[in-house]
């Protein structure tokens, strides 16, 4: 027999959440009054998502869009990267952050550095006024971009990331490699393009907004050089081969994805960054 999710049921679910009852308690309560588990979960998910969207809209926030997300719902220790098992070292819900262990082998880290080194120049950032690119004093590293799929190595890493975060290769920007020496840093910023900036409408014509980032650590500075999330006082250690994934479902500070590359104090830091767009990025 099919069970219908009525407006009254949806209101009851919202009331339970407002009263502070856990999702599990609400689910148990629905099951004991005869709801099928799958129907109950679907009712709760769609109701609470719709409620959050309504609240966000009422506050004038941009709408939420689908984002990449590793399949960590049942807390696996490892994820299948296709050609490699990748460890799940930790996660946060807000900001949405997943820390990945052993995304890259030591050989892959070295090969990326070797291929990038001769092509480095002072890092540019997207000029949000015009949509072009410019030198940015908040970003004192040296960098370069690979073309998507430009070598077997780059294509292999891109395919692995796409599988891990369940997002098409075609929606990724080319991998960027950055090199930081002591004293250099990338001050806290958001990776999405600010909807209020005049250049954003031009930038997002190609592939839509950025919705996720994967920062891969290719070398280990002796001190400093972590990736910080100042809104939540959290820092990811730059351990070679590991990576931090984070996503942002709307281009807004409510995602708490403000993040920076802390100053390198001793040694050098190399990273590779993959930014993910909403749609195919040609
Ligand atoms: O170097 C980093 O840890 C870092 C920090 C913030 C990289 C990026 N952002 C980035 O490439 O977007
Ligand atoms: Zn960033």
Pair (15, 150) in one structural domain? no
Six token digits for residue 186 = 């990338």
- For the stretch 236-271, pLDDT in tens is 999 999 999 999 999 999 999 999 999 999 999 999
- For the stretch 9-32, pLDDT in tens is 999 999 999 999 999 999 999 999
Could you tell me if the CB of 210 is within 6 A of ligand 1?
no
Question: Domain containing 132 — which CATH number?
Answer: 2.60.120.620
**Closest by CA position to 12, among listed 53, 54, 40:** 40
Pair (228, 103) in one structural domain? yes
Residue 2 placed within a domain = no
| pLDDT surpasses 70 at 64 | yes
Residue 70 placed within a domain = no
Pair (171, 249) in one structural domain? yes
Ligand with smallest separation from the Cα of 190: 2
What separation, in Å, do the N-terminal and C-terminal C-alpha atoms of the chain show? 48
- Whole-number pLDDT of residue 178: 95
* Confidence band for 1, pLDDT divided at 50, 70 and 90: low
Could you tell me if the CB of 252 is within 6 A of ligand 1?
no
Pair (25, 135) in one structural domain? no
Residue 67 placed within a domain = no
Pair (82, 53) in one structural domain? no
Query: Domain limits at 34?
Result: 7-58
| Atom number, ligand 1, closest to the C-alpha of residue 141 | 1
User: Residue 247 in contact with residue 96, Cβ under 8 Å?
Assistant: yes
Ligand with smallest separation from the Cα of 275: 1
Which uninterrupted H or E stretch holds 80?
A: strand 78-80
Pair (213, 260) in one structural domain? yes
- For the stretch 174-211, pLDDT in tens is 999 999 999 999 999 999 999 999 999 999 999 999 99
Pair (29, 115) in one structural domain? no
Residue 69 placed within a domain = no
Residue 34 placed within a domain = yes
Residue 191 placed within a domain = yes
Pair (174, 98) in one structural domain? yes
Report how many domains make up the chain: 2
210 C-alpha to ligand 1 centroid (Å):
14
Residue 1 placed within a domain = no
- For the stretch 146-162, pLDDT in tens is 999 999 999 999 999 99
- For the stretch 92-136, pLDDT in tens is 999 999 999 999 999 999 999 999 999 999 877 878 778 788 778
Residue 93 placed within a domain = yes
d(CA 114, CA 66): 35
Pair (26, 153) in one structural domain? no
Pair (98, 134) in one structural domain? yes
Residues with CB under 5 A from ligand 2 (ion): 191
Pair (135, 30) in one structural domain? no
């Amino acid at each position: 027999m099919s069970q219908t999710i009525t407006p009254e049921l949806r209101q009851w679910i919202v009331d339970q959440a407002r009263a502070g009852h856990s999702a599990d308690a609400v689910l148990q309560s629905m099951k004991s009054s005869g709801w099928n588990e799958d129907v109950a979960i679907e009712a709760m998910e769609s109701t609470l998502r719709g409620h959050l969207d309504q609240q966000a809209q009422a506050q004038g926030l941009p709408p939420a869009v689908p984002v990449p997300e590793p399949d960590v719902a049942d807390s696996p220790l490892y994820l299948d990267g296709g050609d490699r098992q990748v460890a799940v070292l930790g996660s946060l819900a807000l900001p949405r952050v997943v820390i990945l262990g052993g995304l890259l082998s030591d050989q892959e880290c070295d090969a990326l550095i070797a291929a990038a080194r001769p092509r480095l120049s002072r890092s540019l950032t997207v000029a949000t006024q015009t949509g072009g690119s410019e030198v940015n004093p908040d970003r004192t590293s040296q960098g370069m971009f690979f073309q998507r799929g430009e070598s077997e190595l780059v294509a292999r890493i891109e395919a692995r990331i796409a599988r891990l975060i369940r997002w098409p290769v075609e929606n990724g920007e080319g991998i960027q490699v950055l090199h930081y020496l002591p004293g250099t840093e990338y001050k806290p910023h958001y990776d999405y393009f600010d909807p209020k900036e005049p250049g954003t409408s031009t930038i997002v014509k190609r592939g839509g907004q950025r919705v996720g980032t994967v920062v891969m650590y290719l070398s280990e500075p002796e001190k400093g050089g972590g990736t910080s999330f100042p809104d939540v006082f959290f820092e990811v250690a730059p351990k070679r081969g590991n990576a931090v994934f984070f996503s942002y479902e709307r281009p807004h500070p409510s995602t708490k994805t403000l993040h920076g590359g802390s100053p390198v104090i001793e040694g050098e830091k190399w990273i590779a960054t993959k930014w993910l767009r909403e749609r195919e990025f040609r």
